[in-house]
Homo-oligomer: A and B are copies of this chain.
Amino acid sequence: MFDILHRVGIHNAPPSSVYGALTSIDKLSNWWTSDTTGRSEIGSVIKFRFGERGFFDMKVLELEPAKRVVWEVADGPKEWIGTKVIWDLSPEGEGTTLRFKHQGWREPVDFMNHCSTKWASFLFSLKAQLESGKGTPFPDDFLISIDFD
């Protein structure tokens, strides 16, 4: 199995605020995709839609306020199904260090390279949203590719 790892620091946002941005449907729509629906409750599914580009359905596995969120990919690109997206939060000075893991890729395919970089761009969107109120969710996201998104 292969994992995508990331880590960002978010200034002036305590872990409770970052946790909110990962668990409120409204706040998720401010940094990942504006088309986010569903319920952030254990066992429920959050639906992230990206127009014609595709979608992810995330089943909520763990919710530990101000500390940890875990999703399992219930539906979406075949390479993603069954993988987990893990968010760990820890206080750092006046802000939060966010550790991210997209765990359980079966093969390090080209799409994994793409998703690693695209996750980084969305983490920067999350960071900007929390620090300055200016996230760049789909459809205003940063396009990192020529052939993909």
A51 to B49, CA, bound (A): 43
Query: What B residues does A63 contact at CB under 8 A?
Result: none
Q: How close is A10's CB to chain B, nearest CB, in angstroms?
A: 8
A3 to B100, CA, bound (A): 15
Minimal Cβ-Cβ distance residue in B for A93: B146
B147 touches A8 (CB 8 A): no
Copies in the complex: 2
Residues 1-60 (chain A) with a chain B CB within 8 angstroms:
2-11
Residues of B within 8 A of A123 (CB): 117
Interface size on A, residues (CB 8 A): 35
CB pair B120–A8 under 8 Å, yes or no, is no
- Within the complex, which residue of B4, B99, B142 is in contact with A110, where a contact is CB–CB below 8 Å? B99
Closest to A3 in B: B108
CB of A113 closer than 8 Å to a CB of B: yes
A113's contact among B6, B92, B93, by CB below 8 Å, is which?
A: B6
Q: Is the CB of A7 within 8 A of B145?
A: yes
CB distance from A118 to the nearest CB of B (A): 9
Interface contact B97-A145, CB-CB below 8 Å: yes
In the complex, the 6 A-B pairs of residues with the closest C-beta atoms, listed nearest first = A9-B146, A120-B120, A7-B113, A9-B145, A5-B113, A6-B117
A5-B112, A7-B117 given; 15 more Cβ-contact pairs under 8 Å: A6-B113, A6-B120, A7-B144, A7-B145, A9-B145, A9-B147, A92-B147, A93-B147, A97-B146, A101-B113, A116-B116, A117-B120, A124-B142, A124-B144, A127-B144
